[in-house]
Chain A
Amino acid sequence: MNLFAYTIIAGIMYGVFFGLVGLGLNIIFGVMRMINLAHGDVIMLGSFLAYWLYELLGFNPLLVVPVAVAVFFLVGFPLYYALVPRLLRSKDPEMLSFILFFGVSQVIEAVIIFAFGNNQRSIPFNVFGSAGFDIFGQRFPIAWLVTTLVALAAFGFIYWYLQHTRMGYATRAVMANRDEAMISGIDVNRISAVVFCMGLALASIAGIFSFFIIGASYPSMGPELTTVSFAIIVLGSLGNPLGTILGGLIYGVAIMFMQSYFSSWANILPYVLLIAVMLFKPEGLIGKAARSA
Chain B
Amino acid sequence: MSRLKALFIVIASAILVFAAVPSFAKKAPKVITIGTLYASSGPFATSSTPQYEGLKFWVSQVNKEGGVFVKAFNKKIPVKLVAYDDQSKTATAGMLYNQLITRDHVDMLAADFGSVLTSVAVPLAKVHKVMLFDQTGTAAKFFTPDNPYVVLCSLPTSGKWPYALADFMIAKKIPRVAILYASNDFDQSQAVTLHDKLVKAGIKPVYYQAVPTSTSNYSVLIHSIQATKPDAVIEFGFPNNDIAFLQGLQASGVKFKMVFTIFPGQLFELLEKNVGAKALYYTYTYPTPPLLKYEKVDLGMGLSQFEQAFKKETGKEVNFLNVAGYNTGLIMQKTLETAPKFDQLAFRKAVTGFSGKLMTLDGKFEVDANGAQVGEMLPVAQFVPKGVGGIEMHIVYPPNMKTAEAVYPAP
Contacts and interface: CB of A to CB of B under 8 A. Distances in A.
Interface in A233-275: 256, 259-260, 263-264, 266-267
A260 B207 CA distance: 12
Interface residues of B, number: 39
A121 interface: yes
A257 to B, nearest CB: 8
A10 B239 contact: no
Contacts of A224: 214
Contact of A215 (B41, B180, B216, B223): B216
A139 B223 CA distance: 11
Contacts of A263: 180, 209-211, 221, 224
A14 interface: yes
A118 B40 contact: yes
A215 B217 contact: yes
B46 interface: yes
B250 interface: yes
Interface string B16-48: 000000000000000000000000111101100
A141 interface: yes
B46 A118 contact: yes
A3 B227 contact: yes
B212 A256 contact: no
Contacts of B183: 264
A250 to B, nearest CB: 16
B253 A132 contact: yes
Interface in A204-230: 212-216, 218-220, 224
Nearest to B88: A220
Interface string A180-224: 000000000000000000000000000000001111101110001
Interface in A1-19: 2-3, 6-7, 10-11, 14
Interface string B317-345: 00000000000000000000000000000
Interface stretch (B65-73, B166-174, B268-276, B286-294): B268-276
Given A10-B220, A143-B251, A259-B220, A220 B240 contact: no
7 contacts: A119-B273, A120-B46, A121-B274, A132-B253, A264-B210, A264-B212, A267-B214
Interface of B: 40-43, 45-46, 49, 88, 180, 183, 209-212, 214-217, 219-221, 223-224, 227, 239-240, 243-244, 247-248, 250-253, 270, 273-276
